[in-house]
Amino acid sequence: MIVGSVREGRFGPVVARWMSEQVERHGAFEVDVIDLAEAELPLELTAVPPAMDPGMNRPEGMSDLTRRLDEAEAFIIVTPDYNRSFPASLKAAIDWHFTQWDAKAIGFVGYSGASGGVLAIEALRQVFNELNAHTVRNYVSFPRYYLLFDDDGELRRPEEPAIAAREMLDQLQWWANALTAARAARAAA
Ligand SMILES: Cc1cc2nc3c(=O)[nH]c(=O)nc-3n(C[C@H](O)[C@H](O)[C@H](O)COP(=O)(O)O)c2cc1C
């Protein structure tokens, strides 16, 4: 699970904690929560893009992120809407990598003001198409999240979001299994 925002005072970790609980309850996945705020993510990319040079030299402070992305069999991306799209931190993390996303399943949890992260999610679908990743249909969205979570970071009415999370995770599991088998077959060919 990737926490996409790195802003001071961000809400992302609260949403990620809730989603981690849903993943544990679902039972199909072992979750590793990746906080992009802990990674070095410069905007200046290398001359040769990662698609053409998968083993490229990356900044030392990115190595932990790269290793964990490599190891993941599927991703959940926790993202707010920033100006009708996703945060630049997330774009940098995506653009510094290529094989790490290739033929993997991706699910989304969005939150923000009126749009609930859906605009970021839709923009990310387009980006992940280019990386040959598969984004699953269902998602979890928290419009006006500040009305939905209390001061302790707990959902006031958790039932419907829990169902949305379970449905998204069922789809993620199906695609993760299919794509993990497909990647193994590709590697063996
Ligand atoms: C730069 C910026 C742009 C934003 N743009 C939108 C937006 O287009 N739509 C929306 O509903 N909320 C928008 N918001 C509100 C954020 O979704 C809200 O502040 C959320 O808490 C941001 O996630 P974070 O706390 O994890 O950084 C924006 C916030 C920021 C900081």
3-state secondary structure (DSSP) of residue 31: coil
Does the pTM exceed 0.95? yes
Instruction: Identify the pLDDT of residue 170.
Output: 98
Quote the ligand 1 centre to 8 CA distance (angstroms). 12
Closest CA to 132 of 187, 96, 179, 87: 179
| The two three-digit tokens of residue 131, written as one number | 């990386």
What's the CATH code, domain 2-38+64-188?
Answer: 3.40.50.360
Instruction: Identify the pLDDT of residue 86.
Output: 98
The stretches in the chain having pLDDT less than 70 are none
Quote the ligand 1 centre to 143 CA distance (angstroms). 11
Which residue is closest in CA terms to ligand 1's atom 7? 83
Atom of ligand 1 nearest to the CA of 143: 11
| The two three-digit tokens of residue 77, written as one number | 């991306």
- Residue ranges per domain, the chain? 2-38+64-188
